[in-house]
Structure 1
Amino acid sequence: MDDLSALAQLRLVAIPRLAAGGRWRVEAMRAYSEPCLLWFTKGQGRITLAGQTRGYTANNAIFIPPGVMHGFEVGPQVFGTAVFFGRDSKVTLPKEPHHLRIRETFVAQELNITLDAIQREMDSDSPAHDRATRHYLGLLSVWLERQIAKAAPDVQKPDAARRLVARYTTLLEQEFRSGMGVAEFAASLGVTPTHLTRCCKQACNRPASALLHDRLIFEARRLLSETDLPVGLIAGSLGFTSPAYFTRAFQHQVGKSPSAFRRAP
């Protein structure tokens, strides 16, 4: 894919807009198929990234590679920008997730200026605006690399429990449609369901089953709101043994049936 096609996939979205249509769109566990940078400029909340829950505040930058499960709170006072780089981005980006707490004002301002410049060039019809966008994206890439290197000495290596939960969420993102339960996931990871749940509670204060159900119900909500697929087909595509079982599970978590959720404005 050429650079122009890759740039066409680039989007900058105000973080509050990500929750348009329901806060479940950001709070439930799910993964993107493209790299994403969340830059919070105001407010605070909690984010679960690769199975580990942390607090975030203003001037926090969170890089999420494709396929990494996450979910975060977006309260009414939370503002910032989400950068979606596209599936075919040519930008040099980290391979691992990172949560950066930016304490120097001038460093935060550097990122604000770069994001403003990217958006301005994307909106422009001036000559070479696409080339300017690529160059500003390169500066964003350099900013990320430098801040990750600066933070490295203070980053604690995850313990065994958190490493296990990260492996679980990676496998869960790959296999959540398979109908596997927590016992099958635990067996694939070489641990007992009890140990896996204990580690999940330690890392994100939620049992392993809650992460699985959250991921399934997010996908169900997405399919119900964005497609016309019959409820029975959605249930089958997500590994539920019957539409009735799917309906009970959905209603328990959402508070309304799949059909009622689809009809709601």
Structure 2
Amino acid sequence: MGDKAAGGIPHYYLYGDQEADVELDLLHIEPIRERSGPNDWRIRPHAHPDHMQVLLVKSGGGGIRMEDRQLPIPAPGILVVPAGVVHQIDFDPGTDGFAVTAALGCLRTASAGDPRLATAAGRPAVYPLAGTGLDIPAVIDTFHWLHREFIWSAPGRRTAILAQYMRILVVVLRLSIAHQDAGTATPDRDYDLLVRYRALLEEHFRSQRSLGFFAGELAVTPARLNAACKARSGKTASELLYERIVIEAKRYLVYTESTVAQVAHLTGFDDPAYFNRFFTQRVGISPGAFRKQAARSEG
């Protein structure tokens, strides 16, 4: 079920589901009752190394523990759980709402036009909706609309899903401004270092392969950077770097007509043969085979 991280805390990709190879543009939404009801309304301590969550609690309530803080869950309310934050939730029986789990690549895409959206989504928090000036029925409808688009296969589905997710991020941003002192968890230094490392990866993963470079930019030793990454993501700093390169390569292979050699160049490889070995070793099939497989699944 979960990948045991340091201290025995499971790392999940989607709660209760683990995939060794995570697509960074993934978004998932499900009613709270579907996951929590069968588990006695308890979500046991875990973290999502590559995903963040926004939960809407329409009715019910309970309590959530994020890192070292125990917080009550208001209804209606919004819970924000950034990637890497250890959390446990105890819902009141019958609690109704939705849990949106978005990969970091999806968050980056949705917040590209306004970096404040990503900043707000990176703040662990519990926000009551009452008294904020937000249109609560409209907020609830946004989650319902996202769920409808997620389970239907209608034209423009992917665009509609992203649009509704952007609306949710705008809600989170406005709540973060309205509740400057909302009960928020305080992630530790490992978490802070991981967040800064991920941001640095986005700038340099195509051109830098040296862990020493990233550690130097972050003003820590490579060993310190590795320890933080292992503690908070269950992966080494190098594994996170390689994972990011592979995901970018997959995007080019699936969404563009670039040749494999061009994809190699676009992801920072001078030697296409080395790129082929790098990709095959981590994905299990060659870039060309991966492209064919993806085309068959799309068809």
TM-score strictly above 0.5: yes
Alignment partner of 1:233 is 2:236: no
Amino acid at match of 1:185: F
Task: Tell me the alpha carbon deviations over residues 50-81 of structure 1, each in whole angstroms, 9 at most, x when there is no partner.
Answer: 7625569864457x8xxxx8269xxxxxxxxx
Question: Which of 135, 140, 153 is residue 112 of structure 1 equivalent to?
Answer: 140
| Aligned ranges 1:58-77 → 2 under 5 Å | 59-60=98-99, 70=104
Q: Which residue of structure 1 lines up, in the alignment, with residue 31 of structure 2?
A: 41
Task: Tell me the alpha carbon deviations over residues 175-222 of structure 1, each in whole angstroms, 9 at most, x when there is no partner.
Answer: 111133222211221222111010111111111111111111011111
Question: Which of 200, 209, 213 is residue 184 of structure 1 equivalent to?
Answer: 213
Task: Tell me by how many angstroms 1:95 deviates.
Answer: 3.4
Structure 2 distance, partners of 1:242, 1:140, is 40
Shift in CA distance, 109/41, structure 1 to aligned 2, threshold 3 Å: farther
Shift in CA distance, 108/98, structure 1 to aligned 2, threshold 3 Å: farther
Any conservation in 2 of the 1:186–1:193 contact (CA below 8 Å)?
A: yes
> What TM-score does the superposition give when structure 2 sets the normalisation length?
0.52
Amino acid at match of 1:198: A
Shift in CA distance, 238/180, structure 1 to aligned 2, threshold 3 Å: same
Structure 2 distance, partners of 1:205, 1:23, is 12
Where structure 2 has 5 or more consecutive residues not aligned to the other structure, the ranges are 1-13, 37-46, 53-81, 90-96, 130-134, 149-165
Shift in CA distance, 108/180, structure 1 to aligned 2, threshold 3 Å: farther
Amino acid at match of 2:141: I
Q: CA RMSD in A?
A: 4.6
Structure 1 distance, partners of 2:143, 2:256, is 33
Structure 1 distance, partners of 2:202, 2:256, is 21
Any conservation in 1 of the 2:194–2:228 contact (CA below 8 Å)?
A: yes
Structure 2 distance, partners of 1:94, 1:247, is 33
Q: Which residue of structure 2 lines up, in the alignment, with residue 219 of structure 1?
A: 248
Secondary structure of 1:185's aligned partner: helix
Amino acid at match of 2:232: A
Any conservation in 1 of the 2:29–2:98 contact (CA below 8 Å)?
A: yes
| Aligned ranges 1:136-151 → 2 under 5 Å | 141=170, 145-146=174-175
Number of residue equivalences: 204
Shift in CA distance, 152/215, structure 1 to aligned 2, threshold 3 Å: farther
Shift in CA distance, 259/41, structure 1 to aligned 2, threshold 3 Å: same
Shift in CA distance, 30/242, structure 1 to aligned 2, threshold 3 Å: farther
Q: Which residue of structure 2 lines up, in the alignment, with residue 78 of structure 1?
A: none
Amino acid at match of 1:70: L
Q: Which residue of structure 2 lines up, in the alignment, with residue 251 of structure 1?
A: 280
Alignment partner of 1:260 is 2:289: yes
Task: Tell me by how many angstroms 1:108 deviates.
Answer: 8.8
**Identity over the aligned pairs, expressed in percent?**
28
Shift in CA distance, 118/188, structure 1 to aligned 2, threshold 3 Å: closer
Structure 2 distance, partners of 1:251, 1:118, is 35
Task: Tell me the alpha carbon deviations over residues 93-138 of structure 1, each in whole angstroms, 9 at most, x when there is no partner.
Answer: 573324556799xx99763224557999xxxxxxxxxxxxxxxx99
Any conservation in 1 of the 2:125–2:183 contact (CA below 8 Å)?
A: no
